[in-house]
Amino acid sequence: MKIAMIGGTGDQGIGLAVRFVKAGESVIIGSRDIKKAENTVDLIKNMLDGDEARNVIGMTSEEAAAEGDIALLTVPLQAQMVTLRNVKDHLENKILIDATVSLDGCIGGSPTRYIEVWQGSAAERSAEFLKDKNVKVVSAFNNISAASLLNIGEEVECDCLISGDDAEAKKEVITLAEKIPGVKAIDCGPLENARIVEKITPLLINLNIRNKIKLAGIRITGL
């Protein structure tokens, strides 16, 4: 499976890309700036073994969305809609995993404050925008820190909370998430529950700041 990392040049996109490549998947790093995508690919290759490095390439965001079997959006809130406008026509009938969180810090405010968006959550915002393209939007990877993903010598101590309205799409995302060592994927129900899941992220950021760490995560027990 080819995973298109849309806006995959930030720390979270890089961390997920490395984890997926090490799990045997092919990854395309997409960016508005092809040079930035290529530079990110070089960075990722330096974190991988020789054989693994062949499974990551760089493209523009539009090319990545067209080429990928599944797309994963890893951009800050302020870049969410402009990025989706650029790739919309290439996502028809595909799964889009949206890891966006509506944080005040993305627009110059507090990194520990959640912003309410009209649609209820960032993932629902994507789903509303893409509804005429039959895109199956799944919210996932919101709560897994980039630092944990980039700490590739260790398992990730965080569950992946997944919300979506298409059962088969969620199954595919659950399978993908559990390729990351240490991660257990939890089906949290319909996409509207992303409203709750996304709000956990500023709490974890707060815990990181208060405790001067970077690896705070969440586990669901008793299931």
AA letter at 223: L
Count of the separate structural domains present in the chain: 1
Determine, yes or no, domain membership for 79: yes
Determine, yes or no, domain membership for 216: no
Q: What is the average pLDDT across 83-103?
A: 97
Determine, yes or no, domain membership for 218: no
**Residue 203: Cβ-neighbour burial (10 angstroms; 0-12, 13-18, 19+):** middle
Determine, yes or no, domain membership for 223: no
Retrieve residue 180's tokens: 């990351």
Determine, yes or no, domain membership for 220: no
β-pairing, 95-98 with 70-73? parallel
Confidence of residue 105 (pLDDT cuts 50, 70, 90): confident
Percent of the chain with pLDDT over 90: 93
Is there a contact between 95 and 133 (Cβ–Cβ < 8 Å)? no
Determine, yes or no, domain membership for 219: no
SS3 (DSSP) at 29: strand
Q: What is the average pLDDT across 86-107?
A: 94
Domain that holds residue 27: 2-211
**Cα(90)–Cα(113) distance, rounded to whole angstroms?**
33
Domain CATH for 205:
3.40.50.720
Determine, yes or no, domain membership for 90: yes
As a whole number of Å, the CA-based R_g of the chain is 16
pLDDT tens for each residue of 7-32: 999 999 999 999 999 999 999 999 99
Determine, yes or no, domain membership for 190: yes
State residue 1's pLDDT score: 86
